[in-house]
Structure 1
Amino acid sequence: MANDSSPPSRPARRGFLKAGAATVAAGASLGTVGVAQAAAQAALGKTHADDPQLAVEPFFAPHQGGIVTPQQSHTYVVALDLTTEKRDDVIGLLRTWTDAAARMTQGSPAASLQTADDKSAPDSGDVLGLGAAGLTVTFGFGPGLFTHEGKDRYGLASRRPAALVDLPRFNGDQLVAEKTGGDLFIQACANDAQVAFHAARQLARQAYGIAQMRWGQAGFLSGPRGQTPRNLMGFKDGTNNPSTQSAPLMNEFVWATSADTPWMQGGTYTVVRRIRITLEHWDQMELGFQEQVFGRHKYSGAPIGQKNEFDAVNLDAQDKDGNNVIPDNSHVRLSNHASNNGAQILRRSYSYNDGTNFYIERWPPWRQETEYDAGLIFIAHQSDPRTGFIPINEKLSKFDLMNQFTTHIGSAVFACPPGARQGSFIGAGLFET
């Protein structure tokens, strides 16, 4: 069986790719200097495990980081469109990205600084002196990698997973083309905003001449460590997630299987939605109404009628008049696994705040004014969107009381392959023939 994952020739015009290849040859995929730096950084991480700035996450692993990794405080997500027609360029880029991500997650520059010359800097240098900050880098492949405008650009059309479906248009969607889709996906998460942005920036820079930026988005997460974070609406977000500590749950709901696509075994399918929240409208609502919208008490996070955040959601509970305690159109009821044939997804979302903009609202009172451009970067991982996100969101988009405060303006779906093996590259199995 031929293997198309052998090192391809690099485009001569891109000197930094040659430097990256030299770094790979110098020692594993980090280079001699990088290995020493990574070892020192790892030692720091073990010694200062309580310091988020010095935390170090492994890059080479059976699963990619940033999926079941405890959520870091910042993210920068990027989607790119491929511009090259050459399969070898795609493989070369993924090799370069693997090397750079492996270095950066250990606190090293994207490429060895010893390769610097007057023509190209191997790294922007803006995070030199900062720790790895728990950086993880997650890569994904969009439908456009497999077919583009009906064309099989790279001979991969037959290897597109059945689960990598084009998302349907949901009720109420107001998708902006410039914030939707993408052939390649990068999710950089870290405990430092600059570290996360730096990682995404270096990888996008290395794609010059092969892929171009489609959209990018910064996000943040606030809250005490070890507690469920709150979104901009003030409610805890992710309480009902399946436990990432439960291997059976992760195998059932998060990790992809090899049923039709062996190269995706141990990967996941990631849905990204950019959801703008009309905070001005929400802030005028009474507390009791806000709790009815969510189906939870705002400050404790407990389901309505319960006392503690992780108390079981009792969808059968009724008040003295025979009405459901948790409203029929509340977010909790409609998204609960009991209302969706047992389906669950792993939410790993972040808030965003992009300042202000002028908007015309689609809900009463239909205001026209300058409002916050802020909301949620909804990120959900699952073993199959056809049984996870799609049916759940189909129901939410039609009946969720929260819809009067939210608008979905960006959308994308990606196949995130399993983690890379040392000496190989991310997504290598896709290119094996």
Structure 2
Amino acid sequence: MKHDSQHPDSHTSDGINRRTLVAGAAGTGLGVAATLGAQFATEVRAQERAEEALPPLQTARVGFFGRRQAGVDTPPPAHASFIACDLNEELKAADIERLLRIITADAAQLTAGRAPVVDQEPELATIPAELTVTVGFGEKIFDLVNPAKKPGWLKPLTAFPQIDQLQEQWSHGDLLLQICSQDPLTLAHAQRMLLKDVRSFVTVRWVQSGFRNAYGSSQQGTTQRNLFGQVDGTINPTSQDETMDQFVWGSHEDLEPWEEGGTSLVIRRIHMNLDTWDQADRPAREDAVGRTLDTGAPLTGESEDDVADLSATTELGFPVIAPYAHIRRATAQNPVEHILRRPYNYDLPVSNASGFSDHGQTSGGVSNSGLIFCSYQADPLKQFVPVQKRLAELDMLNTWTVPIGSAVFALPAGCSESGFIGESLFS
């Protein structure tokens, strides 16, 4: 009997059943697919393990683009540099637009862990370490580009004569660059790149460098301590509820942002006299602050987040929290008196250090230390100034502190990848 080569059960010339051949081929294909699948899965796992093995700051990026600038409601990294610049006299609006486009392009690259085109040390740009770059405007930028858009509050704060010893070297400015990162080398490189970008447009007026607790030294969300040892920044507005939107971005019914996605920054440089602070014992320090130093709890509470009972009295009828205590003076007196505090410490080397710095002095002694107090709010005149007036009039901490610098900036909205910071001024 002949075998029909077209019959599904027919055999090839070597006696192998055609169905068996097809099935074998299919099985081979499945085997190859399974092998490739297993290989792909292995490669994915290897890549994941490699990424897990990387130091965490190598992949810690904060996106630059968005409707709001990063560096405001972003958790503050350990290191910061605040650079105020003065515009060159001959600049026109077109020059400022070019300047802002250059800053935007390079800041976006640096925060992504990539080197800008003109970066001659690209290896220093590969660790973003939560780098953020935030741009602020003084009055002059508005005056040159779009005076009608200038916020009414954008002007130097009226001095507080009871406490201020303001110095020009730490005050004012036309353009602000706020650069923050967990890695001081990343920050230093970004700072140099951005200063090279702006040097043909501006002169640097002042640079203030500050620090907080090192990355990983405390639990995330822990309130930082200043050089007095006190917690600094308790009960801030937060993105976990509506308070950040209300008081920083201006969604509260009694506030209004100067532009959608914009806010303001007040920077106060506060000298802290650690020599005279050393003379105060712990009860005196806690009485001045109104909080315990170990936990940060108000003197009427047990934990840092407890609301202070300002009506509580001792057995003798005296207020538990004194009338001059910092916490009482800083407590909001109306619904909008809330600010976002994002302070940084400074501690500068002192050559030939010796002697003792007396009350009210801003030099001498063995340390030059203090606070770069950064306050973000929708309207400084409605939110920051009333609180600061009360502190200037009667705050026991004034015994050990002296404001020596003051500046106010408008922080514009963020931008898209096709735009640039401040583009609304040119509309």
Normalised by the length of structure 2, the TM-score is 0.81
User: Cα offset for 1:292?
Assistant: 0.8
- Alignment partner of 1:73 is 2:78: yes
Q: Which residue among 209, 212, 230 is the counterpart of 2:200? A: 209
Q: 3-state DSSP class of the match of 1:131?
A: coil
Moved more, 90-99 or 130-139: 130-139
- The one-letter code matched in structure 2 to 1:236 is V
Give the aligned partner of residue 409 of structure 1.
404
Give the aligned partner of residue 429 of structure 1.
424
Q: Which residue among 277, 286, 306 is the counterpart of 2:281? A: 286
Give the aligned partner of residue 395 of structure 2.
400
How many pairs does the alignment contain? 371
Q: Which residue among 60, 64, 82 is the counterpart of 1:59? A: 64
Residue deviations 1:1-24, cap 9 Å, x none? xxxxxxxxxxxxxxxxxxxxxxxx
Give the aligned partner of residue 330 of structure 1.
325
Q: Which residue among 254, 270, 295 is the counterpart of 2:248? A: 254
- Alignment partner of 1:159 is 2:175: no
| Alignment partners' CA distance in 1, 2:247 and 2:227 | 27
- Alignment partner of 1:355 is 2:318: no
- Alignment partner of 1:145 is 2:135: no
Q: 1:369 to 1:79 in 2, by over 3 A?
A: closer
Q: 3-state DSSP class of the match of 1:217?
A: strand
Q: Which residue among 101, 112, 130 is the counterpart of 1:95? A: 101
Give the aligned partner of residue 40 of structure 2.
none
Is the contact made by 2:132 and 2:180 (CA closer than 8 Å) also made in structure 1? yes
Q: 1:325 to 1:273 in 2, by over 3 A?
A: same
User: Cα offset for 1:315?
Assistant: 1.0
- Alignment partner of 1:345 is 2:342: no
- The one-letter code matched in structure 2 to 1:285 is A
Q: 1:263 to 1:127 in 2, by over 3 A?
A: farther
Q: Which runs of 4+ in 1 moved over 3 A?
A: 43-50, 256-263, 339-342, 357-362, 366-371
Give the aligned partner of residue 17 of structure 1.
none
| Alignment partners' CA distance in 2, 1:44 and 1:396 | 53
Q: Which residue among 227, 232, 235 is the counterpart of 2:230? A: 235
- The one-letter code matched in structure 2 to 1:95 is R
| Alignment partners' CA distance in 1, 2:210 and 2:50 | 24
User: Cα offset for 1:158?
Assistant: 2.2
Give the aligned partner of residue 124 of structure 2.
128
User: Cα offset for 1:54?
Assistant: 3.1
Is the contact made by 2:336 and 2:382 (CA closer than 8 Å) also made in structure 1? no
Is the contact made by 2:67 and 2:415 (CA closer than 8 Å) also made in structure 1? yes
Q: 1:242 to 1:48 in 2, by over 3 A?
A: farther
Q: 3-state DSSP class of the match of 1:264?
A: coil
Give the aligned partner of residue 34 of structure 1.
none
Is the contact made by 2:85 and 2:174 (CA closer than 8 Å) also made in structure 1? yes
Is the contact made by 1:297 and 1:303 (CA closer than 8 Å) also made in structure 2? yes
User: Cα offset for 1:49?
Assistant: 9.9
Q: Which residue among 304, 307, 315 is the counterpart of 2:310? A: 315
Give the aligned partner of residue 13 of structure 1.
none
| Alignment partners' CA distance in 2, 1:45 and 1:269 | 41
Is the contact made by 2:290 and 2:327 (CA closer than 8 Å) also made in structure 1? yes
Q: Give me the identity figure in percent.
A: 36
- The one-letter code matched in structure 2 to 1:69 is T
User: Cα offset for 1:419?
Assistant: 0.9
Give the aligned partner of residue 24 of structure 2.
none
User: Cα offset for 1:361?
Assistant: 5.4
| Alignment partners' CA distance in 1, 2:107 and 2:195 | 12
Q: 1:49 to 1:255 in 2, by over 3 A?
A: farther
User: Cα offset for 1:340?
Assistant: 4.9
Is the contact made by 2:255 and 2:336 (CA closer than 8 Å) also made in structure 1? no
| Alignment partners' CA distance in 2, 1:429 and 1:406 | 39
- The one-letter code matched in structure 2 to 1:145 is I
| Alignment partners' CA distance in 1, 2:363 and 2:239 | 43
| Alignment partners' CA distance in 2, 1:260 and 1:90 | 29
Unaligned runs of 5+ in 1: 1-42, 113-121, 148-153
Is the contact made by 2:137 and 2:174 (CA closer than 8 Å) also made in structure 1? yes
Q: 1:129 to 1:106 in 2, by over 3 A?
A: closer
Q: 3-state DSSP class of the match of 1:88?
A: helix
Q: Which residue among 161, 185, 189 is the counterpart of 2:180? A: 189
Normalised by the length of structure 1, the TM-score is 0.80
Give the aligned partner of residue 3 of structure 1.
none
Is the contact made by 1:270 and 1:382 (CA closer than 8 Å) also made in structure 2? yes
- The one-letter code matched in structure 1 to 2:344 is Y
Moved more, 84-93 or 60-69: 84-93
Q: 1:278 to 1:158 in 2, by over 3 A?
A: same
Is the contact made by 1:331 and 1:396 (CA closer than 8 Å) also made in structure 2? yes
User: Cα offset for 1:197?
Assistant: 2.6
Is the contact made by 2:273 and 2:359 (CA closer than 8 Å) also made in structure 1? no
Q: 3-state DSSP class of the match of 2:280?
A: coil
Residue deviations 1:159-186, cap 9 Å, x none? 2112323311113211111210000001
| Alignment partners' CA distance in 1, 2:300 and 2:66 | 42
Q: 1:231 to 1:90 in 2, by over 3 A?
A: same
What is the alpha-carbon root mean square deviation over aligned residues? 2.7
Residue deviations 1:37-82, cap 9 Å, x none? xxxxxx9998579824531110001111010111111101100000
Q: 1:155 to 1:218 in 2, by over 3 A?
A: closer
- The one-letter code matched in structure 1 to 2:345 is S
